[in-house]
Amino acid sequence: GSERQAFLELFTPAGERAVATGFGLRLHGGAGRRGGLEIKKSYRVYFRKSYGDGRVDYPIIPTAEIEDFDKLVLRANFGDGRAHGSYIRDQMIRDLHSEMGGMASNGSWYVVLINGKSHGLYNVVERMDEEFFISHLGPGEYDVIKTGNTVLSGTRQNWDQLRDFISSTDFSNEENYQQLASRVDIENFTAYMIVNLWVLNLDWPHNNWYAARRIPDGKWIFLCWDSEWGLAGGPYGPEVDPYSFIDSGGAYGHGLSRKLFFALLGNPGYREYYQQQVRKYLNGPLSPANALRQTHHHRDIVVADIEHEFETRGYGKERWHEQIKEIEEFTQNAGDYFQRYTDQYFAHKPSPTTEDRLTLTQDAEGGRHIIYRTAKGQLHELASTADASTWNKTTISLPGTAPPAAGQPSSYTLAEGQQQILYRGQDGHLHLLSKPAADAKDDPWQHTDLTAQLEIPTAASDPSAVVVDGVPHVVYVDQAARIRELWFDGAWQHYPLPALPRTDGDAIISRNQSTLYVTYRTMFGAPCEQRLSLENIAPGRRPWIPRLIYRLPASGQPVGYNAGGKRHVVFWAAEKWPHDDPFYFDGIERRQPDYRRYEGSPNALVHAWDKGERFRRLYQIGNPPSPVGSPAAAGAQARAVASISLQEPCWFWKVAS
């Protein structure tokens, strides 16, 4: 907003004038700007020589350990103030992060009078721009980025390069992980994530963040800001699972910090490190004793002025004391909740569905080939003529090196007519059966143990395959609930999809032109789809992008297809979430132009389709009977079931007889 000239006098608690100078005054903040003059506003103070002193040489904020300031922020604590707040949450969270080794905006407390009239207690804090980092880290130039990728100093070039790097790189590869560690301060970022998840700051990471690095080759660090929803300040209870939020809830799609967290969790060593750091901080700065000490420290500083302000405004000081009690209770229980949720999240193992799934391919002459497995792992084929007038059943004779199938097979046909069958063995290895050509019907099947050949993790789910421009692409879920892609373009290669959102079981691959889609249900029950444009890949770079449907839980396996230029997902909605509901702020969703509230019933077949970045439109599909297993989809461009040409999308599912 516009800057107004004003005059500042600062008095010590003893009543002595310590500062007297002209300055520039601006409104500060986002939602807090709204409303009339009766609403307590936040301000930004600029000391400029055109008004008076260019810098104020006085320790306005003693904990900052610097004595001259060129600007300040006067926080009214809009989200944690007025009649409903404690006023101390944001400062307390920044102080906790500082005790964890993070860099933080220091703050102090002042009663602010404007034209002689008291506007109440303000949290006077450092503004985190380039001057802030120079004051604390030393002279130099800094890239400083905040919410909305807003550049406060420097440029976005390195920030955008970091985003591209983490969006398309496999960090289970130790060399890639070390490259990331050379760009990001891993210890700083880990503490930043832990404190925000522990306090349940769920108005983040899409909002309220800062990041900075020294130019030209400094590591990125992350800083807390405006964390007022934390410490029981948000519209949710203290028992909310922060991992359901960051994995499958309202954190979806927002901010580089979430992408970075996902990328790091793709590294086994980092997963161990993160859990160690959780235990370390829960026994240190985030322990009940230390968090309670911080609560009482800030309570005791502000209590007299806050009680006066609440009484003057007619709120009643009892309401403020109730807020302090909520923080006290939160600090005593948060550690137990957070440790339990951390243990559950990292101990999760996939639970693939066991279904009587068939695999169907169509050869160049129009003949159909159905592959299925019997109870003892034997594979069989049903083959038809193009007009389906004749069907023949044969038993697939497995080579001596090929074990029986443990799950349901997947099959596909290459351009040369080569038939391929892929299945999971009892040891979790993926086995490929192939015939060299379409006219080699009497030749024996050739066997390849892909898991052993590629030295990839064993499978917990059955593989799913699709062919694009003659290249087969296969996905499966490993024992750590990580989805992995294999493809053959002259040699078999492999690549893991992003570590989060974590899958609960199976994953199904489909395609539309040059884009791959992998559809699955997350461990928290949300339907999810990851997509990869094959036009954007490069050696060692495969930028898979996740999209969630987080307003309804799925029961079983969702499936996706393309029709009418849109991406569609069909799933059977569960009556309730398998765990606690993944939190998301519905107020943000309702403001989107393509938002539609789901008006169907639970335990129903649901059709979701996207308009842009998200699946916001959810509709119930009639009133079909309840399924046994998961639905499947087929259409003019859909390959979720088979290579069958249909004019309109169709859905299939099995019901109890």
pLDDT for 625: 64
pLDDT for 234: 93
pLDDT for 435: 84
Domain ranges of the chain: 4-347, 352-496, 500-657
Give the residue carrying structure tokens 């963040």: 209
Euclidean distance between CA atoms 638 and 642, whole angstroms = 8
* Burial of residue 397, with CB atoms counted within 10 A of its CB: 0-12 exposed, 13-18 middle, 19 or more buried: exposed
Q: Which residues pair with 7 in a beta bridge?
A: 22
Digit-coded pLDDT (tens) for 512-531? 999 999 999 999 999 999 99
Quote the pTM value: 0.91
Query: CA-CA distances (angstroms) from residue 201 to 230, 350, 637?
Result: 4, 28, 42
Euclidean distance between CA atoms 273 and 577, whole angstroms = 30
Are 562 and 638 within 8 A, CB to CB?
Answer: yes
Longest CA–CA separation in the chain, Å: 101
List CB contacts of 159: < 8 A, sequence separation 6 or more. Answer: 143, 145, 149, 211, 220, 256
Euclidean distance between CA atoms 474 and 465, whole angstroms = 4
List CB contacts of 15: < 8 A, sequence separation 6 or more. Answer: none
Digit-coded pLDDT (tens) for 610-649? 765 567 788 898 876 665 555 554 443 333 333 333 344 5
Domain 352-496, CATH: 2.120.10.10
Residues of the chain falling short of pLDDT 50: 633-648, 655, 657
pLDDT for 589: 65
